Structure 1
Amino acid sequence: MPTTLITTPTFARHSTRPWQILEEAGAGPLRPSDDAALPASELLGYAPDADALIVGMDVITAEVMDAAPRLKVIAKHGVGVDTIDVAAAHARGIPVVCAPGSNSRAVAEYTFGLLLCATRSLAASHTAVAAGGWPKLFGPELHGKTLGIVGFGRIGRLLAGYARAFGMELLAHDPYVPDSDIRAHGAEPVPLEALLARADAVSLHAPPDPSGTALLDRARLTAMKQGSVLVNAARGGLVDERALADLLGSGHLGAAALDAFSTEPLPADHPLREAPRTLLTSHMAACTPEANQAMGVMVAEDVVRVLTGNEPRHQAR
């Protein structure tokens, strides 16, 4: 009987259906830990018995694959596969599957929530009131402001719709999307440098550079409009976090709301912990029951397809 090793604690947390799909196919689901991601050392220990892997933010390297001689498929319980060495998997004949679109609405809604919270200081007000204070914190209205969206895929387009409903002007940068598609969603296509210079708020929805180079390095963060807001619910590696903390401290940037970081969980000495006007959340933008069920079902079905000798529907290239 094949064994499906599940390393992410959020798999099927809000639905029994993904478990049923694996169990009905005799795919022996095994989740060693249901409250934390499986540490890399433990992953290597379980890998030899795995015919399939369902992973979250785990880093799946060639070493992991070589430790799993029975491995036939790697499934990302999510969308981005940047933590998986897809080239190494393909070289070994192992398909990598994911769940595209499953969490797009959840992330887009959350991103807009981060923008609202950052601009109106909602978290700071809550903290102050809970501590006995009663501050009147001022922040700008979104109506008439310009939102710059970096990455105009499913999430970026949904976010554009929410922003239009608030009366925001839209800029978008995505070298892989035709200008006509961007305009069709009510945004003006612009180069990244122009977007950073003009936008009152910037939201990131792009994959990280495989080289590890930050898309928004110190120079680009400095080039952002004075007092502007940065929102990142995509990947931590997109931003030079030390530079961001410095620019928040100097007052050049008005605020930042971040749900993704280069190291997770956030280290105790991370500079953003002490940065002013900063909202930090625990990489939970996709955490809705609806998205959780959709992700689980999509990856479980594709795992079963591969284990039964069929082509997966959502293979990463």
Structure 2
Amino acid sequence: MVTNGVFELSIGFGQGRHDDQYATVDGVFDGQSMPLLLDTGSSDTFIASDKCTVCDSYNTFEIKPTTNISDKEFGTIVGEGSVSGPMAFLDTDLGGLVLTQQPIGLVNYSVSHQYQNHSFSGLFGLAQLNISRLWYFDQEYPVLTTAIQKNKLETPMVGLSLPRWGDASRQTGKLTLGGIDPSVPSESIHYVDTVNVANYNYDGFPLTRQFWNANITSLRFNGQDIPLFGALQEGLAIGLLDTGASDVMCRPGSFDAIVSAINGTKHSNGHDVFIECDKPQVMEFQFGQVLTHIMSAATYTVLDYVNSDFQPQPRVGLASITNLNQALKDFPSKWQTRMV
């Protein structure tokens, strides 16, 4: 058994789906395989249990007499709303990364439609320790922190490329725990430090490491510069990289400028914009000196702790894996294949 290495998981679209709104990987818990929503915007890992009568999950974890369920409660708010249940210690296998008796949320209650009509059965969180509910309430490490602390990974980083519905060359993505995909040249990856943000769990709202984010230095939509508006931290415009979200969200002033720059037919209510899909739209962010196309499926992303002692500021690495000119050329023949 490999105890220190790089572990690969295939990223799919979700069970029975015909779109790429949700990225999923398979995890094994006490020998039971379950599809998990891959979420870089939250930290914990949880799965639906067979005690959950309201869960619309693909499958549920069968609780057995040998299942090590603690007397501690787990709960978090993510996706459609809240989930809750006991914390269990389960032997966990993620692409060969084996963590014995890993703390996992065993959900016996969730809001409706949490699992998007049987698309997945739980969530694999990859955000940083400070937003973990396991850590905040019970001082238990989530999966990625456990793997790094136990020296299971070759390097304290995660690499991911997402699949793209309707693109024959991108029917699966890849998640690498402990390194990056060797097919991505290391020199093509450009890194930028994450930004500490206010932690509302604590008095005084201290700035802490929480999310995989970066300072956005410029934004373009269809070649037009879009104004940016500062967040709470030193007036910085901060972008959050979140594989668990299927929408692109921005501040009102930026939103209005984007609506004006959209090609073709559009419908906006001031909060959301809906567009016809027969014309290409190009949205580009610049993080520091790194210019990237917004859609995660067009970018290879690295989440890097830099050192296993967690002392350096974590950083995000980005590399374009899409030839924009070729994508625009291919668009007329491909856009209908991406329609649901």
Structure with the bigger percentage of strand: 2
**Normalising by structure 2, what TM-score?**
0.27
**Normalising by structure 1, what TM-score?**
0.29
Structure with the bigger percentage of helix: 1
